Each structure stands twice: as structure tokens, then as C-alpha cells.
């Protein structure tokens, strides 16, 4: 039914058809639209109704909003009033709270302040007398000794004031110090180095309070040390007579500096009189110095010091100055020597004692500051101070701090008592000493002993004999017995073994005058002595017995050597001194022999033997600042002995290093020539120079210097263990890129490590000590960070060396078992218990070897140089000659064709991981720094050994690797999966067969054993050095050396720790390999520490040694070395496989993190941690040199 179809039949019908169709469509549309139209009309109607309703609602809302605004305004007004009331109530409550807190805080002070006020009221009458007495004390007391000071104060001045009419009242039991200084000031002085005895405190008080210029009588340099420490950079030290000294004095007066005239004589040049008398002109603004009038700064201060023990100054000079006697008393010296011996024998005790003393002083200072601050706020408060929150908080803080300090003081007292008890065991040794220099050397010579009491006896014997040698060396022979007898008498008096009355009789020999001898064998003079002796209780009736038994006594008197015989009858039991008294009367001609026997009996045979002290020994005790002075008798000429010793030490006239100048002879010597030629060429001379340098660095030489250039090179090269280490580590570079990676990473790694060797070599040349890395950190790090940085770097290096040693023993074990497996053609497969048993055996063997005397180790190192070179050469020749042609590779395969064997898919990263082979092989080159105290000419030997050993490894190692790469065949995977677990072992087996590979591997295994020993050596020396500085648990036990001067205990402790580490082998290989990565990471962190400190702070404490690159190149090289080591550490933290499983994962970051955290926890552990006792390297040597400040050379910490 379509119009087009119908139109062909009828046009009308087509139109009708179209109409019908349209009508149908219209209907359909209408049916759809009509409901919508109706809905629209309905919606419009609803809209109109809603709008009407909205208008009504809007009117209601407007009305409500108007009402709400009105109510809101009323609410705001009410809330504002409420807020004001609340704030006022809070202020009132807070004020009440502050008031309660203030009252509560001041309650504890109330009692003390009331007592103080009462005391001030009582002192109103005594203050003038007290001031007079104290003024006299400051003005006149300083020059006297302690005994005279007490006598003047108690027996003269105080009684004199009370005897005046009317008397001048003074406070009973007045102490001048309490009115002039307080505990906080004294504590500050003690912290500055002033000895804590009463005499020193009085001297410091007089010095700081006197109006006239102080003149210190200071023969032992106690006062000058404190003065330099107290004034620091403000002080200018000048010696009269030095060049342009007047110009320097003039500048100090103008600047207002503190001027110290050091070591003045008994008279001073007249040009300084106006300065001594403060004769200012122009209303005090100028002073005349010579022919100049210079501006006088009001802050200028002059201090004079003399080393003369008993100077005589003119009255004018005494009137212009205040004399202060800083001479050390016997008790003061004994306390100081006690501190020295305890510091040497028990550094932990002395360090704790020092820390406690410093802590107590700081407590006093802190309390004083808090109290002063509190009183200042109370006195300056204006208006209502109850609102001063800071005042109340300060008061509460004062109370809280005071409570804490009180508790700590109680704890410190208990600890101090225990420390003093332990220290007192060494007091007999300190009491015996006299000279500090002799004392220090005597301690070194004393026989060691684990028993403290026996050790103290050994110290006493050594001190006594050293004092004897030191003194008698400068005495004539006829005077030596006199001195030795005096020394014996004094010792026995102190020990209360002899009676002073008997000794007085022996020395003075009083006689009864006008008596006649009744016996023919004694003259009247001798009989007078017998009569006087008979009046003493121990010799009652001696005269009667001699007279009644004349025959018996005559026989005794007429003996050839009666001093060796017993006295007759009941007199035979007399003490040696009593026998001497009787011999003095009976046979005065035999007194020399009797005294000699007495000294031998009481002190020992060595004190009476006529032994000449060898000049060599005397020379060993000298320093560049200690000349030798010969006192000669006619016909004696020591020049031959001097020339003979000079030849031994490399000094001779031919070499122009020995100059013989007579007094009055005109001779000019070029200083530069003398300086350059005065270096002895022999090992002995080098050792003397090295010891002097070590003392200057702060340590007393304890180890024997037996290592030469060759043996030090052997140590550094042996620690690398070239041939066996390559055999054990080549697997990592082969597995990361084949032969190309193995060769080129070796070259790149060694070249970059040379920058590290150069940087560390500079430090080793500048500061050659066994402490090595951590000592360098101490010298290059600011004091604020020094203890912590030292602590962490020391533990890093010690644990790094121990871990390295453990890893090489592990590789030695695997190589040993690989040799056995080769012998059985791979049939023998060891289990983990076999591995650990062999590992423990090698630990014990290498510990025993390392504990040998240093001289033997030195020779072993020399032997090892040639042995390792022979093994390397044998390996190269054997593989080059015996490998079949089928296994030989082309140069393109070795140097060009990169083969990623699957460890990492990224070729660049795989190549970088190949750097781990040279890193593991040649690390340990720095170990030569730990033998610095055992090497001759250490400042040159240490850097030489580091750098030359690396260069040797670079070239010889490259030759070995090239040989192996050319002869290994092209199937790298078969090598990596070898049944021997050693790719190099498989190469040897393929090329040399069973017997050849076993033989060569055995010789490489021997080299590995030496490698183990060379790595245990630096671990033990580093541990010894750190124990010497008190940084390791049981340091006092570990620092003890054997009679051969070897730290054997440290050696065995390192071995024991390695055996414990080896237990990880029983877990799995992943656990033990984490320790290997720890070794390199820990060492590199240790190496970075001093280099970074030097770059960051650019410390002036770095003084270049003989090996130095120059300032700019040195810093650039150090920066490159740091960047390289940081990069390697990052590499070492990555796993060897791109997608590792639990067995292949690298857990090094866990291990190193644990070590660092453990060391920090130990350092910060409350009360017992390293922070409480470790402050850096401990000075064990006292250096006395011109131009070095006393506070620098006597400081306890380096």
C-alpha cells in the first residue's frame, strides 16, 4: 500500500492512498502529543500555586531572620561578657598556681637563706678583720710553702690581731678561700688544668686577686700550664731576650692582651721598670717603654714566670710584684704520679676518675649559674612578679636539677670510693718516684705481671733502679755510694723499717767527750762513740759488755772484714742499721764496705756494682731538646765513643752529618744542610726518629720496630693474596660479562683504588700509628664530633679486618677442600660440618703464626713476597704451556666479545658488578698503616707499601687474568657450574690434569694461608691500638703485650670472633657471604671517614709527611677516592642476581646496619656506654719541646 505503486493504475487512487497514510501518521502523533499537552497545562497550574505559596513562605522567613539577628546580637553580648569573666578567672587561677609553685620552690631555699642572713649579721663585726687578714694573705702569703702559710696564719697573724688593744675581731676558723672564690670558680680552674690540691688553689686565688703583677715561681711548669689553658688565645708568651721582644710587649700593652714573660732570671732589664711599677703618665692613659710613650690599655695584664726553684729578687722587684710559689709539693707530686701510673696501667680507671672529677666540677658550676640566675630575676623583678612564668620555671628547673645532681653525686661518691680503692693499690709505686721523666720510662721497663700486687712491686723496683741510674750517671764514683746510701735510708724511713734516732747517730756520730778507752783495741774517740751509743735503749750496757768481754770484742774488731761477720753473742741479732752504728764506732775504716753491704742487702746487688752505663743507652734516652753534657776528668776523652755511635747511626764527618766544634772555634754550618743530612741512614737511626715522631703524636713507643720496606710491602701485598684471591673471586667477573668484564674491570678497579691508596698514604705518612684510620679521624675531626666519629670508624675498621680475615679463611677452606676433591677427580664432596672443622683448624693455625714475635713475622713477610711472586709466575707459565689448543681463545674473544652469562640482564650493570673482583682481591692494602709503630722510617714505609703493592697487583694480576682468559676455553657456563666450586680450579684441571692442578692449587693454598695471616695482623694491631685508648671492652687486659712486644691477646680474640662468625657456615652460604660484603663495606666506610673529615673541615691539624701530593692535587684526589668508594659500597649492597631467591639475596645491608646500630647503642648506653669513658685517642707520652704550649703537650686526650 504505497502511492507510487497505485499511481501506475490510477492517479486519484494514489492521492487517496497518500491521504490515508498521512491520516494514520497524524493519529499516531496526536496519540503521543495529547497526553503531554494535558500534563503541561496541569504543571503550569501547579507552578502558579507553588509560587503563591513561596511568596507567603518568603515573608515568614524574613520575619524569622529579623528575629534571629536580634537574638544573635543579644547572644554575642552575653558570650563576650562570659569570656571576660572566664579569662579573669583563669588568670587568677594561674596566678594562684604560680604563687604556690613559687612558694613551694623557695621553701627549700628558705632554711639556707635564713642561715646565710644570720651568718652575715654575725660577720658585721668581723668583716674588717677578715678583710685585713685576707688582704695580707693575698699580698704576702704567695711566696711561702704550705707549712709556712699555715704557721703564719694560725700562729702569728690571727693571735696578733687578738692581742691588739683594742683587738680586731676575726671570724673563727676563717678560710681565706671562702671569701675570695667559690666552689664553682675553683671547679672551673680544675677543668682548665689546675691541680686540685689546696696549695694550687691558694696560688690561683692569689694570682687572680692580687693587685700587683703576679710572679710565679714555677720550676715544674704547673702554673704556666694552667695560665695558658685559662687565657687561651688572649695570652701572648714572650721570653726576654728573644728577637724584637720589646715590640711584642708594646703591641700587647696597646691591645690589652694578657702578657706572659716566660722563664725570667733573677733580674729584669731596667727598660721594663715602668711596666713593673705601672708608672703611667697622662692620667693613666700612657706608659713609657724605653724611649717611647705608648698607649696603655686598661685591660692589659702582665704575668711573670720563672723556672728557678729558689730565686733571689731585689726588694724593689718584690715590692712591684706578688710572688707566688707554684713549686710542686711532695704530696702533690705523689698524686700526679699516681694519676700517671694508673693512666698507664689502668687507663679505664683513670679515665673514669677524671670524668667523675670533671662531672663534679660541672655540677658545682651548673648549680652556681642556676642560683645566680634565680637571684638575679628575684632582685630585678618589678611590680607583681607572680606573673613571671619564666621565673617560676627557672626556680623549678633549679630544684629539679639540684635533685638530679644530688642523686648523681651520691652515685659518684660510691663509684669514686671504689675507684680510689683500686687506684690506691698503685700508690706505693707513685710514692717511690721522684722524677716524672724517669717515672715514665721506668713503667715501660717494669716486668709485666697479671697480679696487681706483684706488678706494683715490679714497678717499685724499676722506678728505684731507674732513679739510681739516672742520678749516678752524672756522679763521680766516690759520690755514688753516698747517694745510694741516702736513697736506701730514705726508702727505709718511709717504710718505717729504721729508727730515725739510730740514723741520726750514724750520720752525726755524737761522742761523749773526755773519756779514756779501757781497752787497747779502741782509741778514746771510738770509745766516746761507744759511750754515746750505750745511752740509747737498743744499746744499753754495750760499753760494759765490751769492757767485760774484751777478748771476744778484740777478735771481732781486728778481723779483716768485720762487716761480713756476726756481732758477738747477744749483739748478733741487731738490725743492719744498728750494726752500722756499732761499726761506725768500732771500725770506722770499714764503713764504706759496710755501707755497700747494707745497700746490697736492702736494695739489691745491682745498686753497688760498678757498671758504666753504655753511651748507647744514654743516647737512647735523649731527645733533640735534651743535650748530653759530659763531666770529664783529666785524661778522659769521650769523643771516640761519640764518633763510634755516630757511625752506627749513619753520622760521620765524611758524610758531613757529624760536626765536632770546640768552644771558641769559629764555624758556620748551613741549617738546611744540617737538617737534610742529619737523618741517619740505618734502621736504628730511623727507629729513633720514628719513636720521636710517635711521642709527638701522643704515644709512648711500646712495639718493636723490625719491619723494613720489603717486609712492609710483604704485609700490604700479602693482605691482598693476589694469586689465590683471584682464583677465589674471578667467578664474579666471569659471571657478569665473561672475559671482557674480567680483564677491563681489573684494570679500571685497580687504577681507581690507586687514588684511595694515594689519599690514605698521605695520612699514613703524616700520622704513622697503629691506630691508623680512627687516629686520623681523631686528628681531622672537630673536638665536638671526635669521640663518636672515632668510635664508629674504629669499630668499622676492626670488624672489617676481622670479617676480611674470616672470609679469606673461608676461601682457604674451600680451596683446600677443592684440592682434595681434585685429587679424587670430584668424587669427594665435603659437607658443611667438614667445611667448618677445616675452617676452625685454619683459624687456630693462622692465629698461632700471627702471635709469633714481630721479627719472625717480618722475615715471613719478606719470604712471602718471593713466594707469591713464584706462585704467580708458576700459574702463568703452567697455564700458558700446558693448556691444549682446543681451550685457547683468541684476542677478540678475550678483549672485545662481551658475554652476559645471565647474572644481570642489563649489560652495563653486569659490567659494573664485575668490579667486585678487583675490589675483593686488592682490598687490605691499607693494612701496612697498622704496622707503623713496628716499622723503621714509618712515615715513608707506610705509603710506599700501600701504593707499590697496588701497582704490583695491577700488573701481575693483569698478567694472571690474561693468561687464564686465553686458556679457559669458551664455555664459561661450564666453568661457573664446576663441580669443584672454583672456576679457576676447573681451568687448572682442564689444562693440567689431576696431578698438575692439585700440585699448583696446593702451592696457591699455601699462599692463601699467608694471606690469612697478613689479614689477621692488621686486625690485631688495630684492636690493640683501640684497646690502648680504652675503647674496647676489657681494654686493660687486651692492651698487655708479651715479653716480645706482641699483642698476643688481641690476636687470639680476633681469631675467636672469626670462629664465631664461621658458625654461619652451618646455616647456609648466603649467611656467610653477607659477612664477606661486610668486610669491604666496613673498611671503605672507615677509609671514607678521615678523608671526608679532611675535606669537610679542612683541618689545620693535618701536617703533611714526606709523602704528599700537594694541597690542591691532594684534595682533588681525596674527593675522587671518596666518590669511588661510595659507588663500590652501593654495588656491594646489590645482589649478584637480578631476580634473587632467598639463597641468592644479598643481606650485607642488614649486617652492616646491625653493626652500626650496635656500635651506636653501645656508645650511647646509659652509664656504661662508650660516651661515658671514650673521648678519643689517649695520650701516653709527655712531650717537652720549645714552642709547644704546655696545655697542648700535657693534654690527656690527643
Q: Which residue in the block uniquely carries the three cell numbers 697478613?
A: 1014
Residue 49: CB atoms within 10 A of its CB come to: 10
Is 375 part of any domain? no
Q: Binning pLDDT at 50, 70 and 90, where does residue 655 land?
A: low
Residues 271-291: pLDDT tens digits?
Answer: 888 888 888 887 668 888 888
Q: In what order do the strands lie in the sheet with 301-306?
A: 235-238, 258-261, 301-306, 213-217, 321-325
Q: In this model, does residue 625 exceed pLDDT 80?
A: no
Assess whether pLDDT exceeds 80 at residue 550.
yes
Whether the pTM exceeds 0.75: the reply is no
Q: What is the pLDDT of residues 905-925, one digit of tens each?
A: 677 777 787 787 888 788 888
- Nearest-angstrom CA–CA distance, 568 and 251: 80
The answer, yes or no, to whether residue 769 has pLDDT greater than 80, is yes
Q: How deeply is 449 buried, as exposed, middle or buried, from its count of CB atoms within 10 A (0-12, 13-18, 19+)?
A: middle
* 796 part of a folded domain: yes
CB distance 722 to 1074 below 8 Å: no
Quick one: pLDDT band at residue 410, thresholds 50, 70, 90?
Answer: confident
Quick check: is 62 in a domain?
A: yes
Q: Name which residue leads in pLDDT, 263 or 1189.
A: 263
Asked if pLDDT for residue 681 goes beyond 50, the answer is no
157 and 110: one domain? no
Question: 909 and 1028 share a domain?
Answer: yes
Q: What is the pLDDT of residue 670?
A: 44
Q: Over 90: is that where the pLDDT of 569 sits?
A: no
Same domain flag for 835 and 976: yes
Q: Do residues 598 and 630 share a domain?
A: no
**Judgement on whether residues 84 and 215 belong to the same structural domain of the protein:** no
Q: pLDDT digits over 74-121, tens only?
A: 999 899 899 999 888 888 887 787 777 777 666 666 766 777 787 777
pLDDT at 902: 57
Which pLDDT band holds residue 735 (cuts at 50, 70, 90)?
low
**At 614, is the pLDDT very low, low, confident or very high (cuts 50, 70, 90)?**
confident
Average pLDDT, the chain: 81
Same domain as 89, residue 161: no
In the prediction, which pLDDT does 1140 show? 65
Q: Is the pLDDT of residue 688 over 80?
A: no
The Cα–Cα gap between 187 and 360 comes to 8
What is the pLDDT averaged over residues 845-867? 90
Whether residue 554 is contained in a domain is answered as: yes
pLDDT tens digits, 61-76: 999 998 999 999 999 9
How many other CB atoms sit within 10 Å of the CB of residue 827?
A: 8
Q: How confident is the model at residue 666 (pLDDT cuts 50, 70, 90)?
A: very low
Whether residue 889 is found in the same domain as residue 934: yes
Grid cell locating 750: 685497580
For residue 204, the model assigns a pLDDT of 93
Residues 632, 677, single domain; the answer is yes
User: Which tens digit of pLDDT belongs to each residue from 329-348?
Assistant: 777 777 777 777 777 777 77
Residue 443 belongs to a domain: no
Same domain, 821 and 954: yes
Q: Note the pLDDT of residue 1190.
A: 37
User: Does the structure show a pLDDT above 80 at 972?
Assistant: no
HSE (CB half, 13 Å, CA atoms) of 1155? Answer: 27
Residues 759-773, mean pLDDT to the nearest whole number = 89
Instruction: Give the model's confidence band at 474: pLDDT under 50 very low, under 70 low, under 90 confident, else very high.
Output: confident
Please tell me the total count of domains within the chain: 5
Task: Assign 259 to helix, strand or coil.
Answer: strand
* Same domain membership, residue 96 and residue 10: yes
User: What is the pLDDT averaged over residues 166-175?
Assistant: 84
* Residue 438 forms part of a structural domain: no
What sign does the dihedral 141-143-148-149 (CA atoms) show?
positive
Domain that includes residue 851, residue range:
690-1173
Band of residue 580 on the pLDDT scale cut at 50, 70, 90 = very high
Query: pLDDT tens digits for 1070-1127?
Result: 666 667 677 888 888 889 999 998 888 875 567 788 888 888 899 899 999 999 999 9
Residue 321's pLDDT is what? Answer: 92
Q: Cβ atoms within 10 A of the Cβ of 801, count?
A: 29
Torsion (CA) 1145, 923, 1128, 975 in degrees, nearest 10 = -50
Beta bridge partners of 238: 261
Domain end call among 642, 659, 681: 681
* pLDDT confidence band for 683 (50 / 70 / 90): very low
The confidence score (pLDDT) of residue 594 equals 92
User: Kind of pairing, strands 213-217 and 321-325?
Assistant: parallel
Does residue 425 lie in a domain region?
no
Model confidence at 581, in pLDDT bands (50, 70, 90)? very high
* Mean pLDDT, residues 175-195 taken together: 82
pLDDT of residue 677: 40
Res 1195: pLDDT: 44
Report which of residues 673 and 655 the model is more confident about: 655
Q: What is the DSSP string of 686-745?
A: HHHHHHHHHHHHT----S---B-HHHHHHHHHHHH-HHHHHHHHHHHHHTTTHHHHHHHH
CB-hemisphere CA count at 13 Å for 1132? 29
CB atoms within 10 A of CB 242: 9
Q: Are residues 809 and 833 in the same domain?
A: yes
Q: Where among 633, 657, 681 does a domain terminate?
A: 681
| Average pLDDT of span 1028-1057 | 87
Give mean pLDDT, residues 221-243.
Answer: 87
Grid cell, residue 777, equals 679521624
What is the pLDDT, as a whole number, of residue 1106?
A: 87
The Cα–Cα gap between 1185 and 898 comes to 63
pLDDT surpassing 50 at residue 1193: no
Same domain, 598 and 642: no
Candidate ranges 378-392, 933-947, 1139-1153; pick with highest mean pLDDT: 933-947
- pLDDT (tens digit, 9 = 90+) per residue, 981-1014? 567 767 777 777 777 777 777 888 888 888 889 8
pLDDT band at 1053 (very low <50, low <70, confident <90, very high): very high
Band (1188; pLDDT cuts 50, 70, 90): very low
Q: Residue 323's pLDDT is what?
A: 93
- DSSP annotation of 952: H
| Banded pLDDT at 638 (limits 50, 70, 90) | confident
Give bridge partners of residue 293 from the DSSP assignment: 288
Give the C-alpha separation, 816 to 357, whole Å: 57
Q: What is the CA radius of gyration of the chain?
A: 46
Residue 534 has pLDDT above 80, yes or no: yes
CATH no. for residue 970? Answer: 1.20.1740.10
- Asked which of 121, 155, 190 is the last residue of a domain, the reply is 121
Nearest Cα residue to 980 out of 806, 737, 733, 727: 727
Out of 781-785, 969-973, 1092-1096, 1168-1172, which region has the weakest mean confidence (pLDDT)? 969-973
In a domain, 466, yes or no: no
Amino acid at each position: 500500500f504505497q502511492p507510487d505503486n497505485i499511481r501506475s493504475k490510477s492517479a486519484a487512487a494514489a492521492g487517496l492512498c497518500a491521504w490515508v497514510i498521512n491520516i494514520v501518521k497524524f493519529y499516531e502523533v496526536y496519540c503521543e502529543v495529547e497526553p503531554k499537552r494535558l500534563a503541561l497545562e496541569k504543571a503550569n497550574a501547579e507552578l502558579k500555586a507553588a509560587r503563591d505559596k513561596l511568596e507567603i513562605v518568603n515573608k515568614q522567613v524574613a520575619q524569622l531572620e529579623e528575629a534571629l539577628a536580634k537574638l544573635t546580637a543579644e547572644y554575642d553580648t552575653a558570650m563576650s561578657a562570659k569570656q571576660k569573666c572566664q579569662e579573669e578567672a583563669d588568670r587568677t587561677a594561674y596566678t594562684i598556681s604560680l604563687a604556690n609553685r613559687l612558694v613551694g620552690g623557695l621553701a627549700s631555699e628558705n632554711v639556707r637563706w635564713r642561715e646565710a642572713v644570720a651568718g652575715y649579721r654575725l660577720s658585721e663585726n668581723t668583716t674588717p678583720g677578715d678583710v685585713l687578714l685576707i688582704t695580707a694573705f693575698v699580698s704576702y702569703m704567695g711566696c711561702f710553702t704550705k707549712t709556712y702559710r699555715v704557721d703564719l696564719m694560725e700562729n702569728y697573724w690571727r693571735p696578733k690581731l687578738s692581742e691588739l688593744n683594742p683587738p680586731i675581731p676575726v671570724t673563727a676558723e676563717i678560710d681565706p678561700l671562702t671569701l675570695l672564690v667559690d666552689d664553682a670558680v675553683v671547679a672551673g680552674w680544675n677543668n682548665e688544668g689546675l691541680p686540685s690540691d689546696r696549695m694550687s688553689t691558694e696560688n690561683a686565688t692569689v694570682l687572680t686577686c692580687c693587685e700587683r703583677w703576679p710572679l710565679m715561681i714555677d720550676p715544674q711548669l704547673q702554673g704556666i700550664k694552667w695560665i695558658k689553658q685559662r687565657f687561651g688565645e688572649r695570652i701572648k708568651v714572650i721570653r726576654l731576650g728573644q728577637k724584637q721582644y720589646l715590640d711584642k710587649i708594646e703591641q700587647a700593652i696597646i691591645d690589652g692582651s694578657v702578657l706572659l714573660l716566660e722563664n725570667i732570671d733573677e733580674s729584669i732589664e731596667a727598660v721594663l721598670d715602668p711596666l713593673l711599677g705601672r708608672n703611667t703618665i697622662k692620667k693613666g692613659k700612657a706608659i713609657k717603654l724605653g724611649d717611647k710613650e705608648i698607649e696603655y690599655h686598661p685591660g692589659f695584664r702582665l704575668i711573670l714566670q720563672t723556672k728557678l726553684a729558689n730565686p733571689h729578687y731585689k726588694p724593689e722587684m718584690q715590692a712591684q710584684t706578688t710572688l707566688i710559689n707554684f713549686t710542686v709539693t711532695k704530696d702533690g707530686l705523689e698524686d700526679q704520679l699516681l694519676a700517671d701510673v694508673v693512666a698507664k696501667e689502668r687507663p679505664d680507671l683513670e679515665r673514669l676518675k677524671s670524668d667523675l672529677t670533671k662531672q663534679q666540677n660541672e655540677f658545682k658550676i651548673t648549680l652556681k649559674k642556676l642560683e645566680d640566675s634565680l637571684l638575679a630575676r628575684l632582685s630585678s623583678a618589678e611590680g607583681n612578679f607572680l606573673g613571671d612564668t619564666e621565673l617560676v620555671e627557672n626556680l623549678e628547673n633549679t630544684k629539679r636539677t639540684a635533685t638530679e645532681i644530688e642523686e648523681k653525686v651520691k652515685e659518684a661518691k660510691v663509684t669514686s670510693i671504689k675507684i680510689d680503692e683500686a687506684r690506691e693499690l698503685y700508690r706505693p709505686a707513685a710514692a717511690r718516684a721522684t722524677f716524672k721523666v724517669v717515672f715514665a720510662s721506668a713503667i715501660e721497663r717494669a716486668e709485666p705481671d697479671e697480679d696487681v700486687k706483684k706488678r706494683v712491686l715490679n714497678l717499685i723496683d724499676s722506678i728505684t733502679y731507674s732513679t739510681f741510674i739516672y742520678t749516678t750517671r752524672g756522679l763521680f764514683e766516690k759520690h755514688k755510694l753516698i747517694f745510694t746510701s741516702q736513697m736506701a735510708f730514705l726508702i727505709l724511713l718511709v717504710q718505717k723499717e729504721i729508727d730515725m734516732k739510730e740514723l741520726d747517730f750514724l750520720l752525726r756520730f755524737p761522742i761523749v767527750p773526755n773519756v779514756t778507752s779501757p781497752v787497747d783495741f779502741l782509741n778514746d774517740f771510738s770509745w766516746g762513740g761507744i759511750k754515746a751509743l750505750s745511752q740509747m735503749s737498743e744499746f744499753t750496757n754495750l760499753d760494759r759488755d765490751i769492757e767485760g768481754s774484751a777478748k771476744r770484742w778484740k777478735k771481732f774488731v781486728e778481723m779483716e772484714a768485720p762487716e761480713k761477720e756476726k756481732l758477738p753473742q747477744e749483739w748478733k741479732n741487731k738490725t743492719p742499721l744498728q750494726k752500722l752504728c756499732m761499726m761506725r764506732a768500732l771500725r770506722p775504716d770499714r764503713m764504706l764496705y759496710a755501707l755497700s753491704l747494707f745497700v746490697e742487702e736492702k736494695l739489691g746487688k745491682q745498686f753497688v756494682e760498678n757498671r758504666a752505663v753504655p753511651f748507647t743507652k744514654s743516647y737512647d734516652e735523649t731527645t733533640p731538646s735534651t743535650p748530653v753534657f759530659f763531666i770529664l776528668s783529666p785524661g778522659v776523652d769521650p769523643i771516640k765513643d761519640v764518633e763510634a755511635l755516630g757511625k752506627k747511626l749513619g753520622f760521620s764527618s765524611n758524610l758531613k752529618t757529624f760536626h765536632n766544634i770546640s768552644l771558641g772555634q769559629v764555624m758556620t754550618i748551613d741549617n738546611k744542610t744540617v737538617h737534610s743530612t742529619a737523618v741517619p741512614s740505618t734502621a736504628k737511626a730511623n727507629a729513633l726518629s720514628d719513636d720521636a715522631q710517635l711521642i709527638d703524636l701522643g704515644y709512648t713507643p711500646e712495639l718493636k720496630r723490625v719491619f723494613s720496606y720489603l717486609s712492609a710491602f710483604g704485609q700490604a701485598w700479602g693482605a691482598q693474596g693476589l694469586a689465590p684471591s683471584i682464583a677465589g673471586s674471578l667467578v664474579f667477573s666471569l659471571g657478569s660479562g665473561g672475559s671482557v668484564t674480567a680483564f677491563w674491570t681489573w684494570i679500571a678497579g685497580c687504577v681507581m683504588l690507586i687514588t684511595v691508596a694515594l689519599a690514605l698514604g698521605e695520612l699514613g705518612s703524616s700520622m704513622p700509628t697503629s691506630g691508623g684510620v680512627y687516629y686520623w679521624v681523631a686528628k681531622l675531626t672537630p673536638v665536638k664530633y671526635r669521640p663518636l666519629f672515632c668510635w664508629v670508624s674504629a669499630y668499622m675498621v676492626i670488624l672489617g679486618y676481622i670479617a676480611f680475615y674470616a672470609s679469606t679463611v673461608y676461601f682457604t677452606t674451600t680451596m683446600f677442600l677443592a684440592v682434595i676433591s681434585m685429587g679424587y677427580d670430584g668424587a669427594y664432596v665435603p659437607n658443611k660440618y667438614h667445611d667448618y672443622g677445616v675452617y676452625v683448624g685454619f683459624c687456630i693455625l693462622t692465629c698461632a703464626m700471627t702471635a709469633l714475635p714481630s721479627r719472625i713475622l717480618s722475615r715471613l713477610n719478606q719470604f712471602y713476597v718471593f713466594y707469591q711472586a713464584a706462585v704467580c709466575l708458576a700459574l702463568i707459565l703452567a697455564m700458558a704451556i700446558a693448556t691444549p689448543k682446543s681451550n685457547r681463545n683468541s684476542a677478540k674473544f678475550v678483549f672485545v666479545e662481551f658475554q652476559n652469562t645471565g647474572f644481570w640482564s642489563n649489560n652495563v650493570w653486569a659490567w659494573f658488578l664485575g668490579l667486585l673482583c678487583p675490589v675483593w682481591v686488592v682490598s687490605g692494602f691499607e693494612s701496612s698503616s697498622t704496622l707503623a709503630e713496628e716499622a723503621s722510617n714509618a712515615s715513608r714505609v707506610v705509603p710506599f707499601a700501600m701504593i707499590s703493592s697496588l701497582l704490583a697487583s695491577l700488573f701481575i694480576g693483569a698478567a694472571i687474568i690474561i693468561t687464564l682468559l686465553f686458556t679457559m676455553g669458551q664455555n664459561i657456563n661450564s666453568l661457573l657450574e664446576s663441580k669443584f666450586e672454583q672456576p679457576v680450579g676447573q681451568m687448572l684441571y682442564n689444562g693440567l690434569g689431576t696431578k698438575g692442578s692439585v700440585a699448583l692449587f696446593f702451592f696457591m693454598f699455601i699462599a692463601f694461608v699467608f694471606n690469612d695471616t697478613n689479614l689477621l695482623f692488621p686486625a690485631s694491631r688495630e684492636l690493640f691500638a683501640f684497646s690502648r685508648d680504652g675503647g674496647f671492652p676489657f681494654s686493660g687486659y687486651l692492651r698487655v703485650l708479651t715479653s716480645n712486644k706482641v699483642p698476643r691477646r688481641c690476636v687470639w680474640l680476633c681469631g675467636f670472633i672469626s670462629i664465631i662468625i664461621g658458625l654461619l657456615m652451618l646455616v647456609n652460604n648466603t649467611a656467610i657471604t653477607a659477612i664477606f660484603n661486610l668486610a669491604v663495606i666496613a673498611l671503605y666506610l672507615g677509609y671514607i671517614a678521615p678523608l671526608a673529615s679532611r675535606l669537610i673541615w679542612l683541618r689545620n691539624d693535618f701536617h703533611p709527611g714526606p709523602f704528599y701530593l700537594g694541597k690542591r692535587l691532594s684534595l682533588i684526589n681525596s674527593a675522587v677516592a671518596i666518590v669511588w668508594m661510595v659507588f663500590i659500597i652501593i654495588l656491594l649492597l646489590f645482589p649478584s642476581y637480578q631476580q634473587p631467591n632467598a639463597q641468592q639475596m644479598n643481606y650485607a645491608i642488614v649486617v652492616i646496619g646491625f653493626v652500626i646500630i650496635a656500635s651506636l647503642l653501645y656508645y650511647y648506653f646509659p652509664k656504661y656506654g662508650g660516651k661515658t669513658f671514650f673521648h678519643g685517642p689517649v695520650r701516653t707520652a709527655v712531650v717537652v719541646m720549645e714552642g709547644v704550649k704546655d696545655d697542648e703537650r700535657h693534654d690527656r686526650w690527643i
